[in-house]
Amino acid sequence: MKTYIKIALFFVSFIALSGILAALYYYNLKATDMSKAKPDFVLSASQLQKAFEDNETAASALYINKILEVTGTIASVKPADNNILNISLVTGSDISSVICTFPAIADPSKFRAGDEITLRGECSGFLMDVLLNNCAITKK
């Protein structure tokens, strides 16, 4: 076999192996445990919603992909597929709220509208509502 073919096969094999290893790494990557993570910002649900409502660009640059600790009153609790729970927090706005998604809650019946709650989650953006994913409860 010619030398340039051997070199080409080596590089193709190297790239394929690197891709397989990267895929395995990301497939097995665990989500951050929000109950133990240090929050980047601590604020109330109404403060968070107001920041996005006043200046969405600045709030997005400040809060998106950051860990937030948010305190608020539960407006509604909605179970979703695969044991996922969505809790909506009161913000003082009629059209917007903070929606917190929990990966798995053993007993969702312990959450009721009107309860005060403090939770941590990763802010993923603003689409009429502020979205927090992978949430964990810090205080109820």
- Helix (H) or strand (E) run with residue 131 in it: strand 129-139
Neighbours of 56 (CB within 10 A): 12
The pLDDT tens digits along the chain (140 residues) read 788 888 999 999 999 999 999 999 989 887 777 778 899 999 999 999 999 999 999 999 999 999 999 999 999 888 877 778 889 999 888 888 999 998 877 677 788 888 899 999 999 989 889 999 988 888 75
pTM of the model: 0.74
Terminal C-alpha separation, the chain: 70
d(CA 46, CA 98): 8
Q: SS3 sequence, 58-105?
A: HHHHHHCCCEEEEEEEEEEEEECHHHCEEEEECCCCCCCCEEEEECCC
Pair 85, 109: CB distance under 8 Å? no
Angle between the N-to-C axes of helices 56-63 and 45-54, in degrees from 0 to 180, rounded to the nearest 10: 130
Per-domain boundaries in the chain:
1-30, 41-139
Tell me the CATH architecture of domain 41-139. Beta Barrel (2.40)
